[in-house]
Amino acid sequence: MRRAGPTLAAAVVLLAVTAVPAAAGEAVDTHSTVAPNQKAIDLIAQRTSDARQSEDHPSDGPLLREQVHGLICKGAIGGLATPLNGSCSEVDAFTLDIDCGGDTPVRPLFSRVRTSESEPWSEWMPETIGGCPADVLPVLTVEDFRRLPLAPPVLTLQPDRGWVLVNKETIVMTDRTEQAFRTELLGHGIDVIATPGTFTYDFGDDTKDLVTRSAGHSWPDHDTFHVYEELGTVQITLTTTWTGRYRIDGTTQWRDVVGTAETSATSAPFIVEERRSRLVSGLCTNVPRPDDCD
Amino acid sequence: MDVADADGAAAAATHFLDLYEYTYDSLDPTAIEAMSSPECTFCRSVIDDVARMEAYNHVATGGGHTVVNAFGTEITQEQWYSAAVQLDQAPTAEVDPVGKVVSETSGGRFQMVFALDWAQGWLVREVDVTPLPAAMP
């Protein structure tokens, strides 16, 4: 019998410096179409959704437990008095007439069990009393949000050839792309969307950071750039602040994560040079490359 | 790697990457094909690429990778798993029989997401690759 088991917490396996001895290989990204054709990610999302469905409705093996949302009879002491057990009609049941500020109140959750398919079901027993989703459903905290595998957006430099000219504009750009995740809290499946907020560029030369909401544009429409005034070797670090929103399975409302997450990306080092020292003996796109291109 | 769990999925993904390097080194796709699901477009692309190189008598040089991070999750017990691997890949080149470089790549840091099947052993169902900027030192 194959039953869909609960999703286990992810195990992190950190492999420090497992260098494979220099063997040959084409760059891995030549074999994959990346966004929007995210084949593996879409497949994983579909499988995760299917797994949750079959957790709630196992098709393999005998059905020994059922759950349903229901109501409690008015004047009931203890939860066994419910229309589900025939103790009163729905009209006489206590309705959750509470103001949840736009959310639909969550009805009490009942379950019943039996020891085998040929045995009768037990009565419906209350599992949760219900209430407003904000009180009853889990909150995705900023700590939960920061645990998601957020990929840093790609940092693009223009020019990107290992050197830039002093006193000329060095353009920086990135992309403002949302990332979607599936996760789980206390048995509830959750959709999460992370949105880039501000981009902070540290140019590595003791000048003020550039903080912007613009993802930047390439030349000549560039709006995010820096002018280096000193010669030397530098690296640029882009720190992105992310906001999050999430939606719990079975509800329609998107809720905001209180707080932000951060990702960081650093460029390869590059040299800030003067124009004079940039005389080369041929085009740098030639093969073989002239020595003074590097 | 021989256990159907989250750690096993992470180990299977990194093993697949070792097979990837071996496949280009040897131009023999047998091992990687045995670990690939028939619908895996990434796997098919690798297998077709080395078949092309073999037919033209080209060889691959350079390459090699270091795994920075490997992370596995279970979706359905003993059935579906996923893994994410971040790796640094060194530059590579493809060389023709007279030693001319016909193509090259500059390598870099990549994030790879694997969809894996367990069927008394691991099969890679699909792989996505995203280039990443190099991390802070």
Dist CA A201 CA A209 (whole Å): 5
* pLDDT, mean over chain A: 78
Q: Is A1 on the interface with B (CB under 8 A)?
A: no
Res A237: pLDDT: 94
Put simply, the answer to whether B6 touches A2 (Cβ < 8 Å) is no
Q: Which tens digits make up the pLDDT trace of A57-66?
A: 555 566 777 8
Residue with more model confidence, B119 or A26? B119
Res A56: pLDDT: 56
Best CA proximity match to B66, nearest among A19, A24, A21: A19
Res A6: pLDDT: 37
Q: State pTM to two decimals.
A: 0.45
> Which residues 39-68 on chain A approach chain B with CB closer than 8 angstroms?
39-41, 43-44, 47-48, 50-51, 54
C-alpha radius of gyration, chain A, whole number: 29
Contact A157, A200 (CB under 8 A): no
Which range of A36-50, A95-109, A177-191, B102-116 scores highest in mean pLDDT? It is B102-116
| Distance (Å) of CA B16 to CA A263, B34, B84, B101 | 28, 10, 12, 27
Q: Chain A: residue nearest B102 by CA?
A: A287
Dist CA B33 CA B27 (whole Å): 12
Put simply, the answer to whether A19 touches B64 (Cβ < 8 Å) is yes
Nearest-by-Cβ selection for A34 from B79, B130, B133: B130
Q: Which tens digits make up the pLDDT trace of A64-119?
A: 778 788 887 776 555 467 888 888 888 777 665 666 777 777 777 778 888 888 88
Put simply, the answer to whether A24 touches B24 (Cβ < 8 Å) is yes
Q: Which tens digits make up the pLDDT trace of B70-115?
A: 878 888 889 999 888 888 899 999 999 999 999 999 888 888 889 9
Q: Which tens digits make up the pLDDT trace of B80-89?
A: 998 888 888 9
Dist CA A170 CA A203 (whole Å): 10
The pLDDT confidence band at residue A173, using thresholds 50, 70 and 90, is very high
Residue with tokens 């030693």: B99
Dist CA A54 CA A77 (whole Å): 35
Put simply, the answer to whether A26 touches B90 (Cβ < 8 Å) is no
Dist CA A205 CA A243 (whole Å): 29
Instruction: Tell whether the model's pLDDT for residue A5 goes beyond 60.
Output: no
**Contact list, A177 vs chain B (CB under 8 Å):** none
Dist CA A153 CA A291 (whole Å): 33
Q: Chain B: residue nearest A36 by CA?
A: B128
